[in-house]
């Protein structure tokens, strides 16, 4: 009998509905996957699959082949009881078998295991249990605050980066607009056509290939994988516009290199607005979560166990007694 499971994979790099469609298509193409639902707002892909036919690694590989990335975390576990290479092999095998682990490696000299895993799918408790079942032990609980703090700062970091890119783009685009006024309203290429055309190109290059390089990378990656997204459209439009700059030196064509910078500047402004809205929403949600429960009572192997809220995984069954806070979102299975 096949074991059916559900996993929520955090996907990075999606920017539009086209990205969502391609991630869904890639995951549905994996043998053993029964259903897929990708949410652009939460940047997560919910996958229902047969655990006997497909692994988490297969799902991660399918997403990566489309040009997107699965958010992963790395934790270092101090392992006690290892004495030889055989011990290392047993611990590595035990950790790599845990659902949600991408890769696990063990160093006998330092007596530590480095585990790369998908957050929200697997947690520290699973690693400790796997190591214990292999006959060894995790000596101490590693610092989890750093990973949690990094997740909390991710939205703020994206906002700062988007703001920086937007400001740099407009710093180069504003002179282009002012310079183009003379040509637009009076038909004058000041001080002359050669300087004007060269100036448009030089001012546009930093906007396109410095602060706009992520858009180009995303658009070209999509093309290389056989599909198009919003960034592909921006890449095509700005690229063709830029080419008219050098062409204007040899052929009687208009120079639209400055327009390419304007397109990218407006695009990066939209990206900044998007990241700001998402960042503020994330901050509001975090503040709301701070008011919630710090621990949860879950059923693990038929036993009632109290764990930190960070170790609650998708698919866990929680017990909430009268008067207690509900630790996290879920579906009511039973009540009494």
Query: Residue 95 sits in a domain of what CATH number?
Result: 3.30.70.100
Q: How far apart are CA 211 and CA 195, in angstroms?
A: 24
Q: Quick one: 272 and 154 in the same domain?
A: yes
Judge whether 31 lies within some domain: yes
Q: What is the pLDDT confidence band of residue 265, given thresholds at 50, 70 and 90?
A: very high
Judge whether 263 lies within some domain: yes
Asked whether residue 233 carries a pLDDT value surpassing 90, the answer given is yes
Q: How far apart are CA 209 and CA 282, in angstroms?
A: 30
Judge whether 136 lies within some domain: yes
pTM comes to 0.66
Q: Quick one: 162 and 261 in the same domain?
A: yes
Q: Quick one: 178 and 214 in the same domain?
A: yes
| End residue of a domain, out of 111, 142, 173 | 142
Q: Quick one: 89 and 47 in the same domain?
A: no
- C-alpha 66: how far from its chain's center? 13
Q: What tokens does 54 get?
A: 């497909």
Any bridge partners for residue 103, and if so which? 116
Identify the residue with better confidence: 250 or 294.
250
Please enumerate in sequence order all residues whose Cβ is within 8 A of that of 135, keeping only pairs 6 or more positions apart, or say none. 81, 90
Judge whether 41 lies within some domain: yes
Q: What tokens does 100 get?
A: 């949600």
- How many CB atoms sit inside 10 A of residue 49's CB? 25
Q: What tokens does 228 get?
A: 């198009």
Q: Quick one: 198 and 273 in the same domain?
A: yes
User: What was the pLDDT predicted at 206?
Assistant: 97
Q: Quick one: 216 and 165 in the same domain?
A: yes
Provide the domain count of the chain.
3
Mean of pLDDT values over 320-332 = 84
What are the tens digits of pLDDT across the range 48-96?
A: 888 778 888 889 889 988 888 888 888 889 998 887 888 888 899 999 9
Mean pLDDT over each residue of the chain, to the nearest integer: 86
First-to-last C-alpha distance (Å) of the chain: 32
- How many CB atoms sit inside 10 A of residue 331's CB? 4
Residue 59 · residue 47 · CB < 8 Å: yes
Q: Quick one: 206 and 282 in the same domain?
A: yes
Please enumerate in sequence order all residues whose Cβ is within 8 A of that of 197, keeping only pairs 6 or more positions apart, or say none. 189, 245, 248, 249, 255, 257
Q: Quick one: 160 and 274 in the same domain?
A: yes
Q: Quick one: 165 and 255 in the same domain?
A: yes
Among the ranges given (113-127, 186-200, 208-222, 300-314), the one the predictor scored with the smallest mean pLDDT: 300-314
Spell out the alpha helix ranges (H) of the chain: 17-28, 56-65, 85-96, 124-133, 145-186, 193-206, 213-224, 230-247, 257-290
Residue 43 · residue 14 · CB < 8 Å: yes
In the numeric block, the tokens 């000596």 are attached to 139
Bond before 103 cis per omega within 30 degrees: no
Among the ranges given (29-33, 95-99, 181-185), the one the predictor scored with the smallest mean pLDDT: 181-185
In the numeric block, the tokens 């909430």 are attached to 320
Q: 86 lies in which domain range?
A: 73-142
Judge whether 279 lies within some domain: yes
Q: Quick one: 79 and 57 in the same domain?
A: no
User: What was the pLDDT predicted at 73?
Assistant: 86
| End residue of a domain, out of 114, 142, 170 | 142
Judge whether 293 lies within some domain: no
SS3 35: strand
Q: Quick one: 14 and 131 in the same domain?
A: no
Q: Quick one: 64 and 101 in the same domain?
A: no
- C-alpha 306: how far from its chain's center? 30
Give me the count of residues in the chain.
336
| End residue of a domain, out of 31, 50, 70 | 70
Residue from 260, 163, 252 nearest 205 by CA = 260
Judge whether 184 lies within some domain: yes
What are the tens digits of pLDDT across the range 99-136?
A: 888 889 999 888 889 999 988 778 888 899 999 888 88
Q: How far apart are CA 82 and CA 107, in angstroms?
A: 10
Judge whether 249 lies within some domain: yes
């Amino acid at each position: 009998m096949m074991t059916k499971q559900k996993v929520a994979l955090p996907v990075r790099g999606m920017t539009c509905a086209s990205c969502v469609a391609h991630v869904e298509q890639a995951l549905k193409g994996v043998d053993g996957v029964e259903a897929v639902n990708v949410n652009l707002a939460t940047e997560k892909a919910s996958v229902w699959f047969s655990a006997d036919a497909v692994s988490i690694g297969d799902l991660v590989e399918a997403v990566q082949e489309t040009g997107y990335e699965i958010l992963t975390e790395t934790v270092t576990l101090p392992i006690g009881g290892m004495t030889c290479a055989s011990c290392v092999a047993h611990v590595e095998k035990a950790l790599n078998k845990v659902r949600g682990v991408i890769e696990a490696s063990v160093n006998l000299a330092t007596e530590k295991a480095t585990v790369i895993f998908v957050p929200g799918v697997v947690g520290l408790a699973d690693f400790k249990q796997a190591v214990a079942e292999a006959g060894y032990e995790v000596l101490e609980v590693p610092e989890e605050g750093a990973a949690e703090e990094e997740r909390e700062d991710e939205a703020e970091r994206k906002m700062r980066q988007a703001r920086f890119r937007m400001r740099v783009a407009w710093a180069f685009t504003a002179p282009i607009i002012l310079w183009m006024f003379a040509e637009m309203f009076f038909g004058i290429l000041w001080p002359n056509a050669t300087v004007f055309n060269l100036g448009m190109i030089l001012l546009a290059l930093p906007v396109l290939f410095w602060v706009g390089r992520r858009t180009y990378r995303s658009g070209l990656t999509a093309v290389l994988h056989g599909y198009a997204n919003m960034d592909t459209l921006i890449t095509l439009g700005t690229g063709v516009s830029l080419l008219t700059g050098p062409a204007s030196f040899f052929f009687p064509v208009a120079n639209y290199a400055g327009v390419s910078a304007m397109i990218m500047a407006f695009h990066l402004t939209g990206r900044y607005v998007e990241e700001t809205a998402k960042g503020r929403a994330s901050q509001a949600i975090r503040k709301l979560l701070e008011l919630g429960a710090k621990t949860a009572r879950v059923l693990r192997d038929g036993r009632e166990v109290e764990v930190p809220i960070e170790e609650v995984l998708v698919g866990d069954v929680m017990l909430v007694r009268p008067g207690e806070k509900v630790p996290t979102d879920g579906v009511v299975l039973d009540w009494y």
